[in-house]
Structure 1
Amino acid sequence: MKNNFKAFLITLMLLFPMVITQSVKAQQNTIVKAEADSVKVFSLSDLQMLVFRYHPIVKQAALLSESARASVLQSLGYFDPELKAGFARKLFGNTEYYNKWNSELKIPLWLAGADLKVGYDRNVGTYVNPESKTNSQGLSAIGLSIPLGQGLLIDARRNTLRQSKIMVQYAEAEQLKQINAIWYGVAKDYWNWYYAYKQFALINEGVELAQRRFTAMSRQTIIGDKPAIDSVEAYITVQERIIQKEKMKIELQNAQLVLSNHLWSEDGNPLELPFDAVPQNINPAMAKPNPLTLDTLLGQAANQHPELVKLRTKGAQLAVERSYRQELLKPKLNVTGNLLSNRTGFNSVIPGDYDFNWSNYKIGIEFAFPLFLRSERGKLREVKIKQQELNYDLQQSSRTINNDIKAAYNDLSAYSSQLAVQIQSVQNQQILVTGENQKFNLGESTLFLINSRETKLIDMKIKQESMISGYQKTLAELYYKAGTRQDTRLN
């Protein structure tokens, strides 16, 4: 029975190295070659270039400011010159009852809410109202319509235009906020992919080590230097690491798929991350962030954070609305004045009494004033309440943003300190593994201790890569909380 079992073990030891060599090494060729080929390194700056050029959500965010500018253009339409004309004629029983031609060019002016008007009227006929009747030459007029009360300082059209211009700043801040959020998510996915790749590479390295040790143990078992049970133990270690490697392989593939969500071509077609692409290398010795960086980001956030800019522009918009509502509390007093003339052209020769002068005019005054002003006072009170709410929101948002920046900075500092310790721990563990191998070669240690220390070393290296990934994600979070983006070219 023992001989059969030993024969089985020997057969297994002879065949298994070849199987492992063909299967395991074939799977690792992609990553090993990719690491050796620097051209296939896909850095964070490469990803940033693709995202900001071709990502559809980034392009969509750019439409926000375009939409706001379209609203400004629409508001400018209230100041477009307007030309209108009308003609009416009645002829009955060989009698021309009336023949009317009325035309006017109105040019809205920004100053004082006035309208410049140029008109021409020709009203002839038997039954035309005498007050509007003209001679056969017609009557020209040039004049102004000015609101001396309500509408002098601001009116509906100036209110709309000012608020539209302010909304451009609001839209640009919203655009920046959305782009920052997109990039923050992209950066996190990149570092998740980095961690999955490093995790897979370390496990793959562990498989290689276990395979080489199993091969050596098999040969020593065959010649009788080692007991067969050591080969079985080495074989089990290889199997465990292969299982772990397959698990990490799936996680790496999933991380690649998630990162591929952000890759688009110039034509808008989705791209896939190449299977042989590798992330950039990172120096594990992360320096503690400079306190000046924190001060800079806090100052920058106070002035330029998209959320605060949005609130301030909303406050500016409410200030314009408040001015307009206060203006509506004034009575309406509109004055219209026109100088009249029979002149129909610049070269016309007409008597001075019928030309443009201060003796030929028409004037009108319009006055209106609601007695209680309840509607206007209610609207004004509503605007004031919104301003108070906005001020409270601005105070709370400013404090929250400052604390979020400081919290991210503290996390970054903690990662830096932990990484320094972890690097030393990995180096010390490597010394233990090397020493244990030397003792094993001298016959003073066991395979179990070697596997145990080696597995712990791999776990510690994986933990170190996890810290590096966490550090980089926290760094991206720090800039995101400050309302900006890190320049990846500085990495």
Structure 2
Amino acid sequence: MNILLKKISGVLLFVLLSAKFTFAQKTDMLPVTKHIDSTKVFALDDLQLMVFRYHPIIKQAALLSESARAKVLQSLGYFDPELKAGFSRKLFGNTEYYNRWNNELKIPLWLAGADLKVGYERNVGTYVNPESRTNGEGLSAIGLSIPLGQGLIIDARRSTLRQSKIMVQYAEADQLKQINSAWYSIVKDYWNWYYTHKQFELVNEGLDLAQRRFKALSAQTLIGDKPGIDSVEAYITVQERIIQKEKTAIELQNARLILSNHLWNEAGNPLELPADALPQSMVNKAARPNSQLLDSLLGQAANQHPEILKLRSKGEQLAVEKSYRQEMLKPKLNVIGNLISSRTGFNSNVPGYYDFNWSNYKVGVELAFPLFLRAERGKLREVKIKQQELDYDLQQSGREIRNQVMASYNDLSAYAAQLAVQLKSIENQQVLVNGENQKFNLGESTLFLINSRETKLIEMKIKQESMVAGYQKALAELYYKAGTRAVLN
């Protein structure tokens, strides 16, 4: 009688739990990935190809160097030839007081800060100053304006042009820094997606195991081989893993959305990462980095790090500014000389004593010198102080960058060592799970121990994938701290 009641209660319990289990299956609409389709794999190099072609931040960073080149073009404007012309006339009471027409073409020269001038003037009239009066044909002139003191070595326009060219290098370094920073952030988002995807797969596999075990135990309960309490415990495990699956599914969906922020097409429209997209497979989980990689990246950081390049460009700019400020301490001494002629055309017939020769000229000298030079000396001192600050900044930045590279390398080495241990631990845990299953089949173990060891195995595999993602992030950080990017195959 007791055996019959036990079987009836077992049947009722199985029917009840099966109904709940069927309902849980119907409400679980998330896909389960069992076979890897290579056409759905979205690898990191695929992401890199899309990012560097279409990402707005990468395109925006490219504008930095374009803006700097535009400033160089503006600076070149100081060396553009300039044409000036002026005409004035006064006529009153049938008397022409003056009739002036002055034209000048000034061509700035790089050498010695000189200006080449070609001019024509015609000044006639009753009341024109005799020193500027010309004949009816006017006079032509060609000459130079040369600064022999201040401005001979370097002047404002040459200083501006040199500094603007240096700022192109600064902008290119800043552009590289922004691109590296954006790519580092994108790589971290990719490996976050990788981890959440692997976590979801492992939790889903654990749910499949729990569902199969529940079905098997329920069948054994019906024939009286297993107690009904085992079916209840098995179903509780199914419920726990369904909850865990729902949680990881949301995490995977959010990680997919975050990664989609970096996906754009050629037309500039945003793209969404497909729900069935798969991350690349990491067969070789992590390799212990060698010392040659560290030496190479330290050399890269010391010579080509964007921050170092920016500081060096700033130093070159200050060197030009210092040279200009030192030049400003000299007195102004400008010499102006022009040869003049009454020739108004190349084919004009002009007597020799009215043509261009050393007997027909205009010369002038300008001299100016501030007595105390306080403004100039103050600006020069300011530039020297900025140079000292820059030297200290360069020294400190170089040391910080070196230590950051070494710290990232240490993190990478730690991840590699931990992964090696984790792989061994998973193998050992798998042995324990297999052994516990064998003992349970022989009636020498309990379902609680199987579930505990199996749950521990799943957690260890999830931790392993977390370490793999952490290793890849640490690898990306190592290159980022060195001021460069890892070359992807």
- TM above 0.5: yes
1:23 Cα offset (Å): 4.6
- 1:238 maps to 238
Partner Cα separation in structure 2 for residue 267 and residue 276 of structure 1: 24
- 1:15 maps to 19
Is structure 2 residue 66 aligned with structure 1 residue 28? no
Deviates more, 1:71-80 or 1:11-20: 11-20
Partner Cα separation in structure 2 for residue 72 and residue 126 of structure 1: 50
- 1:265 maps to 265
- 2:125 maps to 125
1:316-338 superposed Cα distances (whole Å, 9 cap, x missing partner): 00000000000000000000000
Contact 1:284–1:419 (Cα < 8 Å) also in 2: no
1:99-118 superposed Cα distances (whole Å, 9 cap, x missing partner): 11100000000000000000
1:207-230 superposed Cα distances (whole Å, 9 cap, x missing partner): 000000000000000111110000
- 1:176 maps to 176
- 1:371 maps to 371
Contact 1:17–1:215 (Cα < 8 Å) also in 2: no
Q: Residue type of the partner of 2:373?
A: L
Matches within 5 A, 1:45-124: 45-124=45-124
- 2:454 maps to 454
- 1:404 maps to 404
Matches within 5 A, 1:170-209: 170-209=170-209
Aligned to 1:488, the other structure's residue is in SS state coil
Aligned to 2:366, the other structure's residue is in SS state strand
Is structure 2 residue 477 aligned with structure 1 residue 473? no
Q: TM-score, normalised by structure 1?
A: 0.97
1:396 Cα offset (Å): 0.3
1:16 Cα offset (Å): 4.2
Contact 2:176–2:306 (Cα < 8 Å) also in 1: yes
1:435 Cα offset (Å): 1.5
Contact 1:284–1:423 (Cα < 8 Å) also in 2: no
1:488 Cα offset (Å): 2.0
Q: Residue type of the partner of 1:256?
A: R
Contact 1:65–1:168 (Cα < 8 Å) also in 2: yes
Aligned to 1:96, the other structure's residue is in SS state strand
1:246-305 superposed Cα distances (whole Å, 9 cap, x missing partner): 111111111111111111121221111111111101124411112111111111111110
Partner Cα separation in structure 2 for residue 469 and residue 61 of structure 1: 28
Partner Cα separation in structure 1 for residue 67 and residue 18 of structure 2: 72
1:102-149 superposed Cα distances (whole Å, 9 cap, x missing partner): 000000000000000000000111111100000011100000000000
Partner Cα separation in structure 2 for residue 453 and residue 48 of structure 1: 40
* Unaligned segments of structure 1, at least 5 residues: none
Partner Cα separation in structure 2 for residue 124 and residue 471 of structure 1: 88
Partner Cα separation in structure 2 for residue 284 and residue 467 of structure 1: 13
Partner Cα separation in structure 1 for residue 89 and residue 394 of structure 2: 64
Aligned to 1:151, the other structure's residue is in SS state coil
Aligned to 1:85, the other structure's residue is in SS state strand
Contact 2:10–2:222 (Cα < 8 Å) also in 1: no
- 1:167 maps to 167
1:303-361 superposed Cα distances (whole Å, 9 cap, x missing partner): 11000000000000000000000000000000000000011111111100000000000
Partner Cα separation in structure 2 for residue 382 and residue 282 of structure 1: 56
The 4+ residue runs of structure 1 with deviation greater than 6 A are 1-4
Aligned-CA RMSD value: 1.4
Is structure 2 residue 447 aligned with structure 1 residue 443? no
1:14 Cα offset (Å): 3.7
Change (3 A) 1:370 1:14: closer
Partner Cα separation in structure 2 for residue 160 and residue 130 of structure 1: 42
Partner Cα separation in structure 2 for residue 350 and residue 20 of structure 1: 111
How many pairs align? 485
Contact 2:11–2:222 (Cα < 8 Å) also in 1: no
Q: TM-score, normalised by structure 2?
A: 0.97
Aligned to 1:107, the other structure's residue is in SS state strand
Partner Cα separation in structure 2 for residue 93 and residue 27 of structure 1: 103
Deviates more, 1:467-476 or 1:11-20: 11-20
Matches within 5 A, 1:136-175: 136-175=136-175
Partner Cα separation in structure 2 for residue 52 and residue 380 of structure 1: 44
Query: Equivalent pairs: percent with the same residue?
Result: 75
* Unaligned segments of structure 2, at least 5 residues: none
Contact 1:68–1:171 (Cα < 8 Å) also in 2: yes
Aligned to 1:339, the other structure's residue is in SS state strand
Partner Cα separation in structure 2 for residue 400 and residue 310 of structure 1: 15
1:50-99 superposed Cα distances (whole Å, 9 cap, x missing partner): 11111111111111000000000000000000000001111222221111
1:22-74 superposed Cα distances (whole Å, 9 cap, x missing partner): 454x4234x33xx4211111111111111111111111111100000000000
- 2:215 maps to 215
Partner Cα separation in structure 2 for residue 28 and residue 428 of structure 1: 30
- 1:297 maps to 297
Contact 1:148–1:333 (Cα < 8 Å) also in 2: yes
Contact 1:104–1:119 (Cα < 8 Å) also in 2: yes
1:369-398 superposed Cα distances (whole Å, 9 cap, x missing partner): 000000000000000000000000000000
Deviates more, 1:39-48 or 1:101-110: 39-48
1:425-475 superposed Cα distances (whole Å, 9 cap, x missing partner): 111111111111112112221111111110000000001000000000000
Q: Residue type of the partner of 1:186?
A: I
- 2:354 maps to 354
Aligned to 1:132, the other structure's residue is in SS state coil
Q: Residue type of the partner of 2:470?
A: G
